């Protein structure tokens, strides 16, 4: 981990933005919702849209099996999410090789446990496919966030600074 100056203006702006969003939430929500979860939701929400975009473009131009198309989009969106979460949300400068290895295990386990396993269980129970996908998306979102915060980037300063009590750099210190 480096000091704030090593993060660069984009990461500092993102941290400031997330702190403002977090500060606008009701007090009861602020007490239980970490600032990094807000950043994660923004980054991974955009990654989901990117995944769907890749799926739409690839399926339009290439006649590949659905499983392959889905896997390509999921892999590209996962790479995007890892880079942005590492850089902007968790502001981590640790061992890239170790973090990448851990992240790959998280993504593979997520795919097996939630996307294939849990979704198949919900299908076997007769749940409509769209409701099953929404349910699994919620579960996998929480799972990936917890794995990032607790295992992949356990010492990261994150968008909230060193602790939840630390206000981080003042907004006026962030270059626009």
Q: What is the pLDDT of residues 25-60, one digit of tens each?
A: 999 999 999 999 999 999 999 999 998 899 889 888
pLDDT tens string 57-79: 988 899 888 878 888 988 999 99
Give the pLDDT of residue 129.
79
C-alpha–C-alpha distance, residues 10 and 14, integer Å: 6
Please list, in sequence order, all residues whose beta carbon lies within 8 angstroms of the beta carbon of residue 164, skipping any fewer than 6 positions away.
34, 35
What does the pLDDT read at residue 3?
A: 55
Q: What is the pLDDT of residues 138-170, one digit of tens each?
A: 999 999 999 999 999 997 555 444 344 444 444
pLDDT tens by residue, 104-113: 999 999 999 9
What is the value of pTM for the model shown? Answer: 0.81
**What is the torsional sign of CA 102, 139, 115, 38?**
negative
Confidence at residue 80, expressed as pLDDT on a 0 to 100 scale:
98
pLDDT of res. 19? 97
3-state helix/strand/coil string of 28-85: HHHHHCCHHHHHHHHHHHHHHHHHHHHHHHHHHHCCCCHHHHHHHHHHHHHHHHHHHH
Report residue 5's pLDDT band, with 50, 70 and 90 as the boundaries. low
pLDDT at 157: 53
| pLDDT value, residue 176 | 34
Q: Are the C-beta atoms of residues 120 and 135 closer than 8 Å to each other?
A: no
Spatial separation of the C-alpha atoms in residues 11 and 14, rounded to whole Å: 5
Spatial distance between the Cα atoms of 53 and 32, rounded to a whole number of angstroms: 33
């Amino acid at each position: 981990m480096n000091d704030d100056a090593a993060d660069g203006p984009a990461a500092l702006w993102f941290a400031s933005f997330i702190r403002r969003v977090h500060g606008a939430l009701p007090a009861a929500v602020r007490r239980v919702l970490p600032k990094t979860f807000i950043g994660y939701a923004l980054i991974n929400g955009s990654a989901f849209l990117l995944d769907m975009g890749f799926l739409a473009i690839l399926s339009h131009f290439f006649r590949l099996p659905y499983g392959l198309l889905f896997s390509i989009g999921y892999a590209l969106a996962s790479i995007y999410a890892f880079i942005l979460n590492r850089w902007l949300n968790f502001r981590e400068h640790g061992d890239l090789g170790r973090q990448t290895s851990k992240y790959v295990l998280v993504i593979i386990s997520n795919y097996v446990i939630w996307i294939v396993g849990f979704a198949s269980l919900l299908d076997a129970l007769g749940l409509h496919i769209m409701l099953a996908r929404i349910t699994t998306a919620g579960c996998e979102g929480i799972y990936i966030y917890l794995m990032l915060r607790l295992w992949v980037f356990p010492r990261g300063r994150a968008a909230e600074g060193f602790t939840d009590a630390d206000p981080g750099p003042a907004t006026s210190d962030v270059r626009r």
